[in-house]
């Protein structure tokens, strides 16, 4: 529920100083809201930069042409009446980024704002961005942690190209994130942190607020640290722990700015720190102080309201990709009637899956934290051999180490699933940054002819459905399946419609033949799957292992013609999965000058960019792949209808290589390997250039 303005007593630390603004303040007049016909993720309606959440009219560069007011003079005397502040201005969508040291609680602040926004009913997408170090040196550029959230009263698919509001807890956070900020955007800084020492750590020769470097932005200086210390002084916390509450003070400011209630966060604090009542009191006091400070001082100017989005009917929760992945695997266990075993060695960004699955022992889930990656996949293969759904999870470096054992699962033809939550590489690489660079590894990263099926979710919520699909394919076709997610999907969040369990696909392995007729490699004539036999069943004894098998009997064989036959059978078995998966669908016309083809986590950015261009020109279409081996059976037909195919991907062109190797299509690459997802504008501008023959 939206919070109502209170005229009650001011919270701790609230005071009524003159407005503290620097730079070039922009007009505070409200901006217009885009019409219902506005395209999703499209340019926003015209507004001044002082209205965070509003933007320019369709086709107008963001921030261009906005009115700029004269510098605001400090106010004397009483502030404007609360009645004026009680009418928030409506905007359609907003992008906010919290940034500070990795110990400043920016992920907590962002997660709490996300949860509150989800409860309010907005559509949202998030982008957590944090360093690999557990605690990088305070005040340094390497130690900056950020959390971006895009929330709206309409359907959105991405966390936004550029924040309109940046909360910078120190100079390093400002320097790292300033280049991403929308022109004319709002910067809220902790005035207390802009000391000479912190400025030097961030590489500033002078205070950028005072030197004019932030001209064109609306800068709000708030003494966050000192106000927080004042707000929590009655709790008895020492200074070290008291300062840690300042993220909640900053969160209170943003709650007021966008008319959010702090109720959910208060409840979360009380539950999280239930054993430490003094910490509960301090965090709640800081949260309330931030909210009341913004309300009573008017330092942020007007506040804004983003109405709830019009979702299809149903029950929703906000969910991260890794949470959805774990729940999907649990659902697969129930749908198949088999227990789930998860063997994993902790590795970023896949560790959340282990933690989430460990919470679901009541559903028969068994989790095993192994001593290394090889032990994890070995245990999962053993579980699969024993009749359970064998699952292991990792990221790129771990997939390297699992490759030999994955070959064993291919030879034994067992229904194993490997969840690879991709990150930047090679080697240790960028552990907390996203990338799509494991596709060719998933396809070919094993010795010998060793095919496996490969699937890739397209959004955090889709991780649930593709996790089920991975096991459905594995069980039905008796083959290992690699589930390719990535850090952007795994840690990002969105509202998720809880599915109707009656509509989820139930699946089971084929019934065993009569023991008298049992042959371990006697195959189903349609799928080529061999029988899945649980050890100990009388009459079904057979050999199994990594040595080549004789067709039908499963005996060890070194016969060259038999080996070639088995290699072709294993490949054909994976190829036949194409008859058991959906055809690829096209957004837009089935023929034309340009198709934008993507896979995995690029879905939201590609779809948004294509919809923007189609709203203006209508000469571009899009298609997205969730099945990568085998490809959907109609992909060749789809590609043949277009003059050119643009493939944006977060690698150096891996899907491009696969498409060029199989289909006669004129492919144009758009690659990015910066540890960050695409911006919608990057893809949009490339589409425009191709349509105008500038590329």
Taking the C-alpha atoms of residue 346 and residue 384, their distance in angstroms, rounded to an integer, is 21
- The list of the chain residues with pLDDT below 50 reads 1-85
Exposed, middle or buried: residue 371 (CB in 10 Å: 0-12, 13-18, 19+)?
A: exposed
DSSP secondary structure of 290-345:
HHHHHHHH-TT-S-EE-PPP-PPSS-EEEEEHHHHHHHHHHHHHHHHT--EEEEE-
DSSP secondary structure of 123-152:
EEEEEEE--SSSSPPTTSGGGEEEEEEEEE
Phi and psi at 489, nearest 5°, equal: -70, -40
- Give yes or no for a contact between 464 and 521, defined as CB atoms under 8 angstroms apart: no
Q: What burial letters (b/e) apply to 31-50, b meaning 16+ CB within 10 Å? A: bebbeeebbbbbbbbbbbbb
Fold agreement between 316-503 and 586-691: yes
Cβ-based neighbour number of residue 561 at 10 Å: 9
Which CATH architecture best describes the domain 586-691?
A: 3-Layer(aba) Sandwich (3.40)
Indicate yes or no: pTM above 0.75.
yes
Average pLDDT, whole number, for the chain?
89
Q: What burial letters (b/e) apply to 279-293, b meaning 16+ CB within 10 Å? A: bbbbbbbbbbbbbbb
Q: Cis omega before residue 120 (within 30°)? A: no
Q: Where are the domains of the chain?
A: 90-305, 316-503, 586-691
Token pair 């991405």: residue = 158
Residue 126, pLDDT score: 98
Residue 483, pLDDT score: 98
Taking the C-alpha atoms of residue 299 and residue 183, their distance in angstroms, rounded to an integer, is 20
- Sheet hosting strand 123-129, strand order edge to edge: 21-23, 218-222, 186-190, 165-168, 93-101, 144-152, 123-129
Residue 29, pLDDT score: 31
CATH number of 90-305, picked from 3.30.420.480, 3.30.110.30, 3.50.50.60, 3.40.920.10: 3.40.920.10
Give per-residue pLDDT as tens, 640-682: 999 999 999 999 999 999 999 999 999 999 999 999 999 999 9
- Give yes or no for a contact between 581 and 616, defined as CB atoms under 8 angstroms apart: no
Reference 192, options 168, 158, 159; nearest CA is 168
Residue 54, pLDDT score: 40
DSSP state of 21: E
Taking the C-alpha atoms of residue 625 and residue 600, their distance in angstroms, rounded to an integer, is 7
Residue 627, pLDDT score: 98
Indicate the helix (H) or strand (E) that contains 412: helix 396-412
Taking the C-alpha atoms of residue 259 and residue 292, their distance in angstroms, rounded to an integer, is 12
Show the tokens assigned to 409.
């699962």
Indicate the helix (H) or strand (E) that contains 625: strand 621-625
**Fold of the CATH domain 316-503:** Rossmann fold (3.40.50)
DSSP state of 48: -
DSSP secondary structure of 230-251:
HHHGGGT--HHHHHTTHHHHHH
Residue 86, pLDDT score: 63
Taking the C-alpha atoms of residue 492 and residue 121, their distance in angstroms, rounded to an integer, is 18
Name 436's Cβ contacts closer than 8 Å, sequence gap at least 6.
422, 484, 486, 599, 600, 601, 602, 649, 650, 651, 654
- Sheet hosting strand 667-671, strand order edge to edge: 586-587, 621-625, 592-599, 642-649, 667-671
From residue 23, how far is each of 209, 213, 274, 564 by CA, in Å? 7, 8, 43, 72
């Amino acid at each position: 529920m939206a919070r109502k303005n209170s005229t009650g007593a001011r919270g701790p630390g609230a005071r009524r100083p003159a407005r503290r603004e620097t730079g070039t303040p922009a007009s505070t007049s409200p901006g217009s809201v885009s019409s219902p016909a506005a395209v999703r993720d499209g340019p926003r309606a015209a507004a001044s930069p002082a209205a965070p959440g509003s933007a320019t009219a369709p086709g107008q560069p963001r921030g261009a042409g906005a009115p700029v007011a004269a510098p605001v003079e400090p106010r004397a005397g009483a502030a404007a009446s609360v009645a004026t502040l009680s009418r928030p201005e409506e905007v359609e969508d907003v992008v906010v980024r919290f940034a500070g040291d990795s110990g400043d609680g920016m992920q907590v602040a962002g997660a709490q704002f996300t949860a509150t926004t989800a409860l309010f009913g907005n559509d949202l997408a998030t982008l957590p961005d944090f360093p690999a170090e557990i605690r990088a040196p305070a005040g340094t550029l390497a130690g900056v942690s950020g959390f971006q959230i895009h929330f709206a009263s309409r359907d959105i698919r991405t966390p936004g190209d550029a924040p309109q509001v940046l909360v910078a807890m120190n100079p390093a956070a400002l320097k790292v994130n300033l280049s991403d900020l929308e022109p004319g955007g709002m910067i809220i800084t902790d005035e207390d942190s802009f000391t000479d020492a912190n400025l030097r750590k961030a590489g500033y020769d002078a205070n950028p607020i005072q030197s004019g470097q932030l001209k064109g932005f609306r800068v709000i200086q708030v003494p966050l640290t000192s106000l927080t210390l004042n707000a929590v002084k009655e709790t008895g916390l020492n200074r070290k722990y008291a300062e840690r509450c300042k993220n909640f003070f900053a969160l209170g400011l943003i709650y007021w700015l966008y008319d959010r209630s702090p109720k959910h966060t208060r409840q979360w604090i009380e539950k999280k720190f239930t054993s430490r009542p003094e910490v509960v009191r301090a965090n709640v006091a800081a949260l309330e102080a931030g909210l009341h400070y913004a309300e009573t001082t008017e330092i942020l100017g007007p506040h804004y309201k983003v109405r709830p989005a019009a979702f299809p009917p149903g029950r929703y929760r906000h969910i991260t990709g890794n949470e959805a992945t774990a729940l999907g695997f649990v659902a697969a266990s129930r749908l198949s009637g088999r227990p789930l075993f998860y063997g994993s060695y902790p590795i970023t960004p896949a560790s959340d899956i282990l933690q989430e699955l460990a919470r679901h022992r009541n559903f028969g889930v068994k989790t095993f934290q192994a001593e290394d990656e090889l032990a994890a996949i070995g245990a999962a293969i053993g579980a699969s051999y024993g009749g359970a759904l064998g699952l292991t999870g990792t990221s790129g470096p771990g997939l390297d180490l699992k490759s030999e054992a994955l070959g064993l699962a291919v030879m034994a033809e067992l229904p194993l699933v490997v969840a690879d939550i991709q990150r930047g590489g090679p080697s240790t690489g960028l552990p907390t940054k996203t990338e799509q660079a494991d596709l060719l590894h998933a396809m070919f990263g094993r010795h010998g002819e060793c095919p496996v099926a490969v699937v890739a979710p397209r959004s955090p919520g889709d991780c649930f459905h593709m996790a089920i699909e991975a096991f459905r394919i594995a069980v039905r076709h008796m083959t290992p399946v690699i589930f390719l997610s990535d850090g952007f999907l795994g840690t990002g969040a969105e509202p998720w419609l809880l599915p109707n369990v009656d509509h989820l696909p139930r699946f089971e392995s084929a019934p065993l033949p009569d023991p008298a007729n049992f042959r371990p490699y006697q195959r189903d004539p349609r799928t080529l799957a061999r029988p899945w036999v649980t050890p100990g069943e009388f009459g079904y004894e057979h050999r199994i292992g990594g040595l080549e098998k004789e067709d039908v009997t499963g005996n060890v064989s070194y016969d060259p013609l038999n080996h070639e036959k088995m290699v072709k059978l294993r490949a054909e078995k994976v190829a036949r999965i194409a008859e058991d998966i959906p055809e690829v669908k096209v957004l837009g016309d089935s023929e034309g000058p340009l198709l934008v083809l993507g896979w995995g986590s690029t879905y939201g950015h590609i779809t948004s960019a294509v919809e923007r261009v189609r709203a203006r020109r209508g000469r571009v279409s899009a298609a997205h792949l969730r099945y990568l081996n085998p490809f959907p059976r109609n992909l060749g037909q789809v590609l043949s209808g277009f003059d050119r195919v643009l493939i944006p991907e977060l690698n150096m062109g891996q899907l491009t290589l696969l498409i060029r190797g199989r289909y006669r299509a004129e492919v144009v690459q758009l690659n990015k390997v910066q540890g960050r997802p695409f911006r919608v504008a990057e893809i949009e501008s490339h589409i425009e250039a191709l349509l105008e023959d500038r590329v």
